[in-house]
Amino acid sequence: MARPSTDGRYAPSPTGDLHIGNLRTALAAWCMARAGGGRFVLRIDDLDPDRLRPGSAERQLADLAALGIDWDGEPLVQSSQRPHHEAALERLTGAGLTYPCFCTRADIRAAASAPHGAQADGAYAGTCRHLSADDVAQRIAGGAAHAVRVRAGSAEVSVEDQLLGTISGVVDDFVVRRKDGVPAYNLATVVDDAAQGVAQVVRGADLAETTPRQAWLAQQLGLAPVRYAHVPIVRGVDGSRLAKRHGAVTLADLAQRGLTAADVRRLLAESLGITGVRGAEPTPEALVAAFDADRVPRADQMVDPVRFSSDVGWPDVQPL
């Protein structure tokens, strides 16, 4: 039997510099792809124009390269794939799987708090699902802004994750096109992963909850299923997800404290359970050879980045 493909990817959003939590996930994704002999591709997820920061994408690519992470081909710019996103949306609509949604965020919150409201935390209650065609036409003719949702039918979906085990969820009628006309994250991600030939998605565990929706969507679009591995995230000393406010969290920050990219690569490798790296400066190739997914910690890690130094290991690593 042929080994499953480990072709993987990393898809940062150019909203600022990558911090050590982002870089740790990128290194894990790269090691998992390369250790299995797979391709590794990049995608610039730039579909949210209000959050984009000039120069971020270039700095992100430079930081990845500085750590020794390489990639195959040119990075895919997600906004260039809009025609493919729209084509996928048309397929869903042609299959009777979409409907316009005029709800505001306040409407959705109110529905979720009502008795017998949303079926799960954050799930859409289906308020617009049964609007008549005449009602829909009148609202659109009147200029009412609307998103597009799928008719998921409360499908129960389970996905086996290489690191977290079984991820299960009841899929609600989630958004596939936002009110501003931009393809939603779940649709764009599924379409673009397929276009890039991605077979293995390695990303932060904070995105695990999106997995049932994406697996369901791929099935409706007739796309090959991908395998998932969600890496537990890095948190600051206050327990919240690591961010700039926690201190020296980017490569540039750490360089000012005397840490080289090789130092950071070693520290990140140690945090991923790669053995034989403390006190050494392993090459990227050595990390791939030593990588073992079974040793990747299964719990989120809390770290004080201002205590990083070139002569100690990953500081304050502890499960929450």
pLDDT in tens, the chain (320 residues): 567 899 999 999 999 999 999 999 999 999 999 999 999 999 999 998 888 899 999 999 999 999 999 999 999 999 999 999 999 999 999 999 999 999 988 888 777 665 544 455 568 989 999 999 999 999 999 999 999 999 999 999 999 999 999 999 999 999 999 999 999 999 999 999 999 999 999 999 999 999 999 999 999 999 999 999 999 998 888 888 887 777 768 999 889 888 899 989 988 998 899 987 766 678 999 999 999 999 999 999 888 777 766 565 555 444 43
| Amino acid letter for position 238 | D
Q: Are 298 and 271 in contact (CB under 8 A)?
A: no
Rounded distance between C-alpha atoms, residue 278 and residue 53, angstroms: 35
Map residue 175 onto helix, strand or coil: strand
Alpha helices in the chain (DSSP H): 20-35, 56-66, 82-94, 105-113, 133-141, 185-195, 211-220, 251-256, 261-271, 284-290
All structural domains of the chain, each given as residue ranges with its CATH number in brackets, are 8-74+232-307 (3.40.50.620), 81-192+206-224 (3.40.50.620)
